[in-house]
Structure 1
């Protein structure tokens, strides 16, 4: 019995398709990591469970991961999270400043950077993937992504889970200080009546001692956050998933209205200082003139000599009185 050529072609085509599919499955059963990333591999496929099967270390060679497995790749090196008013530098899109009230109720802006490292210990990493790698987080663009879904997914995870812990720590620490203890210029708008009555007292807030004390207080905030933040993250995340946490407080800013009031006050103080300088100069000139006049009374000839010295070079004849004139010789 002769097999029709069309049947042979169909068999050959099916064999080719099967070979391509099998080859594709085999090729996708291997994976590797780049330097600075580590992978948690989970089983997959219609007949397998979804448990973790292995960890692929950073900068690995091509490794067999099994059919239909999925690799969750996380950063294995130090990472940082920046809070800043510079829209080009922050980890969030646009301007991102942490606003918290001081002890005296002034809401100030805080800019800084948190440095940390994901714990790559095998047991900790598996627990982290179980807790946070099996769900998605909404980014600022409204899209939902997994924590292992590239930089955007990782940042979405940080915004949703880590940022609230950072905000809580900053709010607690900032609330222990008055505004003037962090920004000396706050005193300009907090005691306006006293400053108007005594401008020299207002200028005192800008002394070197005040500036140094502000720096000391900022250092205290940094140290307190460095002490508490890692423990708070461990408690909130349910495990020691991040290590080597360090916070660097880069800048403290004031609300626009407060800053504008300070700028206006500084301009007024500058005007007062200028007027005081003019008064002091006038007093000094009056005292000098008085002393000069006393000298002329004792030495009339000295007055004449000074008068002659004061004649402008454009004057050719000087006639101070009738019958008296001086004309320079040619």
Structure 2
């Protein structure tokens, strides 16, 4: 068989008046798929919507497009065309909080307490919760995304994440940018109070003129409220200064607990136990004094009425005694006693 004549009779594909061979046809199909498939993916991915708890900043991302912000999509939107291959940065739209606690249920795993010194040098453990909202004004939100949505932040676990990368990314942003501001404000405010003004039992182990003073008569709750109010006054300004704008609103810090170092708390517990023993001893002394006064009064009565003394003696004889012998060979039968 003449293979040359057979190949010459195989059908070809005409393209622009030219007949294409098998290799060229395959190249044409691959090229078409390379264009069509990304176009389909880009079209499908170009539709976006938000739920009620998030707001979205959309940035251009096409092959020939820039990376500038295209639009902001408000919370709870319907399906919206966001453009070919656009990148969507999703941020929390509802009130958020950042918890600092020793229970292990805070935003950082494990024990997380801000340790700051009081004015008299005692390290105080501060626990509380920071509440805030992200400013949803479109212009402000676009500024925030330009400043903080285009970089990554190191979280408490050491991993680098974007602020819009889910809850973990948002927590990483708070850990690196907001947490130092909170710590600094707590340090400044707590440092203006003595230990006993925030934890009244601290007075048990602090020398006042050479002697430890028992706790009492001093309200630590009022001073804790003062610290909390001062923090709420300064925190808004400090966060605005740190971020460079009013990106967070409705800022409030709730100071929930002030604790002492383990060594100081152990000393407080020991002192409290000692004061309890002192109180118990004082109670016994008071009881003894009362008993002595009662005996003295009773003796004066017996001196005035000797027969009364004998009557009381008879009354004090146990019921199982049948004969009472007061002495001098005298005895008194107690039958029927």
Conserved in 1, the CA contact under 8 Å of 2:53 and 2:76?
A: yes
Q: Which residue of 2 aligns with 1:122?
A: 138
Superposed CA offset, 1:17-59 (max 9, x none): 8655433221111111111110000011321110000001001
Equivalent residues in 2 for 1:260-299 (5 A)?
A: 260-299=266-305
Which residue number corresponds to residue 94 of structure 2? 77
Do 1:188 and 1:195's aligned partners in 2 also have CA atoms closer than 8 Å? no
In structure 1, the partner of 2:241 is: 235
Contact 1:33 1:56 in 2 (8 A): yes
Matched, 1:307 2:313: yes
1:168 aligns with 2:184: yes
Using the size of structure 1 for normalisation, the TM-score is 0.90
What per-residue deviation string (whole Å, max 9, x for no partner) do you get for residues 146-186 of structure 1? 00001110000001000111111111111111111111111
Provide the residue aligned with 2:63 in structure 1. Answer: 46
1:215 matches 2:256: no
- Residue 220 of structure 1: how far off its partner (Å): 1.2
1:95 is matched with: 111
- Partner in structure 2 of residue 254 of structure 1: 260
Match of 1:138 among 142, 146, 154: 154
Maintained 8 Å contact 1:318/1:326: yes
Q: Aligned-pair distance for 1:193?
A: 7.0
Aligned counterpart, 1:199? none
- Given that 2:55 and 2:74 are in contact with CA atoms closer than 8 Å, whether structure 1 keeps it comes out as yes
For residues 11 and 315 of structure 2, the distance between their equivalents in structure 1, rounded to whole angstroms, comes to 133
SS in 2 for 1:233: helix
Q: 2:54 aligns with which of 15, 34, 37?
A: 37
Q: CA deviation at 1:316?
A: 3.2
How far the C-alpha of 1:12 sits from its partner, in A, is: 7.3
- 23-32 or 249-258, larger mean C-alpha shift: 23-32
Count of residues in Structure 1 that have an aligned counterpart in Structure 2:
319
Pick the structure with greater CA Rg: 2
Distance 1:316 1:13, change over 3 A: farther
RMSD: 2.3
Q: State the shift of 1:70 in Å.
A: 0.6
Q: Is the 8 A contact 1:42 1:53 kept in 2?
A: yes
CA distance, structure 1, for counterparts of residue 302 and residue 106 of structure 2: 73
Aligned equivalents of 2:142, 2:43: Cα separation in 1: 25
Superposition deviation, residue 239 in structure 1: 0.6
* Residue 121 of structure 2: aligned partner: 105
Alpha-carbon distance between aligned partners in 2 of 1:217 and 1:323, rounded to the nearest angstrom: 77
Name the CA shift for 1:309/1:192 in 2 (closer, same or farther; >3 Å): farther
Rounded to whole Å, the distance in 2 between the matches of 1:185 and 1:297 is 52
In structure 2, distance between residues paired with 1:37 and 1:313: 88
Query: Quick check: 177-186 or 151-160, which moved more?
Result: 177-186
Maintained 8 Å contact 1:319/1:325 = yes
**2:323/2:331 contact within 8 Å kept:** no
Contact kept? 1:296, 1:303, Cα under 8 Å: yes
Structure 1 unaligned regions, length at least 5: 197-201
Q: 2:39 aligns with which of 1, 8, 22?
A: 22
Distance 2:115 2:330 in 1: 84
